[in-house]
């Protein structure tokens, strides 16, 4: 597959997804810190923030965040293995293993979140 003139292979795809999830997690962190500081504005502000956190958009964002964190963590472990444990010969298998584990953990985590928060 080619993208912007570059041939996209497993290593580049992994690199790109790792950067995207890292930036997304960082943006969430700043957003989370900002919303938490809004709580100190009194009971009305606190209640408004809590209602905002109950919105469907936030619930979907939390599920996407969970997926980003799972992938970022597992891909980070893959990078450590490839860099320090002579795993470069197996980097494609390790990447697809990390993707499969991400998919399984994401599906299980999504089911737990949805069944405990959205179905009640």
Distance separating alpha carbons of residues 54 and 51, to the nearest angstrom: 5
pLDDT tens digit sequence for 84-93: 877 678 888 9
Distance separating alpha carbons of residues 94 and 11, to the nearest angstrom: 11
pLDDT for res 102: 97
pLDDT tens digit sequence for 26-39: 999 998 898 888 88
Secondary structure letter of residue 91 according to DSSP: H
Distance separating alpha carbons of residues 41 and 46, to the nearest angstrom: 7
Within 10 Å of residue 102's Cβ, how many Cβ atoms? 21
pLDDT tens digit sequence for 10-56: 888 888 899 999 999 999 999 889 888 888 888 888 888 888 888 88
Number of domains in the chain: 1
Residue 10's domain comprises 2-118
| 1 touches 7 (CB < 8 A) | yes
- Burial profile 1-39: b = 16 or more Cβ within 10 angstroms, e = fewer: eeeeeeeeeeeeebeebbeebeebeeebeeeeeeeeeee
pTM confidence score: 0.83
* CATH code of the domain covering residue 50: 1.20.1300.10
Mean pLDDT of 57-70: 93
């Amino acid at each position: 597959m080619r993208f912007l003139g570059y041939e996209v292979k497993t290593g580049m795809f992994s690199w790109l997804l790792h950067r995207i999830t890292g930036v997304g997690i960082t943006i969430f962190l700043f957003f989370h810190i900002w919303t938490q500081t809004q709580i100190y504005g009194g009971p009305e502000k606190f209640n408004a923030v809590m209602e905002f956190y109950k919105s469907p958009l936030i619930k979907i964002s939390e599920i996407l965040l969970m997926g980003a964190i799972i992938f970022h963590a597992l891909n980070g472990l893959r990078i450590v293995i490839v860099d320090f444990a002579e795993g470069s010969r197996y980097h494609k298998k390790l990447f697809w293993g990390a993707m499969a584990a991400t998919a399984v953990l994401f599906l299980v985590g999504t089911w737990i979140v949805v069944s405990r928060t959205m179905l009640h």
